[in-house]
Amino acid sequence: MKKKITLLDGAVGTTLWGIAEENGVEKVPVWKYNVEHPEFVVELVKRYVDAGCEIVLANTFGANGPAVKRSSDYTVAEVIEGGVRAAKKALEGTDVKLCLSLGPLMQLLEPYGDMEEEECAAIYDEMLDAGVGAGADMILIQTFMDLEMMRVATVEAKKYGLPVMCSMTFEKSGKTMFGNSVQDTIDVLTPLGIDAIGLNCSLGPDLALPIIKEFSEKTDLPLLFKPNAGKPILSEDGSTVTAYTAEQFAKDVQPALEFVSYIGGCCGSDAEYIKEIKKLL
């Protein structure tokens, strides 16, 4: 029997900036739209639902205490609850699940930086408390390069009793920027009782494929795969195009369907990319 593959969404940030541009609104940290333009978030989620997504991400990735304080007068709760509310409005009458999204912090944990583990845990707890309280169904901790920071965030997330998925971001070498390997990632996160593991961002599907395949050879956990649609390329007329068309992207992720349980796209991918993956499924 062929296993079930769950279709995830594409990029949140780059797609929201596109929606803002369509509406003549300037680019700001995308979490601000949760408060200032929740209609953009509703539109984003509707596009992904129409494309066939079964899980969509809340626009909460970078809405951590230090970032919110640095760029606004809002509270973390206002920003995250606004993002969850807008997404849930778009999901009314559907079976699509909403996933709280947690990203890495700009500050570095000791010994690389001066942030202590307790401070890091408190920042994630504030995000989790707001997002879970507002009605998120599950949690995705994603785009981390530092496995230790991922561990701290995951320990906090597990306290909330929801499914937790973890996704690191890797270099072509098969290691994160902090030198964490696939095996390291599995060894640290599996004992925490997570529900899925994998990779997102930084690489296009062709370069990310060997890494997710390595995961499949080393763990029985369900795998999550959300590669980038490539860095934007400046064309001669001054416009930007993504490195992968939606069709090419789907073609390149197709081999991963043999062993992943969750699939979508990251930076540069939008609803058109998800529609192409949907065709494969």
Q: What share of the chain is helix, strand, coil (3-state, %, to 5)?
A: 45, 15, 40
Per-residue confidence (pLDDT) for residue 244, from 0 to 100: 85
Please report where in the chains the tokens 């306290």 appear, as a residue.
159
With bands split at pLDDT 50, 70 and 90, how would you rate the model's confidence at 148?
very high
Mean pLDDT of 73-99: 98
pLDDT digits (tens, 9 = 90+) for 112-131: 999 999 999 999 999 999 99
Q: Report the percent of the chain where pLDDT is more than 70.
A: 95
CA dist 87 and 267 (Å) reads 19
Model confidence, pTM: 0.94
Mean pLDDT of 88-99: 98
pLDDT digits (tens, 9 = 90+) for 151-176: 999 999 999 999 999 999 999 999 99
pLDDT digits (tens, 9 = 90+) for 231-253: 656 666 666 566 789 999 999 99
Per-residue confidence (pLDDT) for residue 240, from 0 to 100: 59
Q: In the beta sheet, which residues pair with residue 196?
A: 165
The mean predicted confidence, pLDDT, of the chain is 95
Look at the domain 6-280 and name its fold: TIM Barrel (3.20.20)
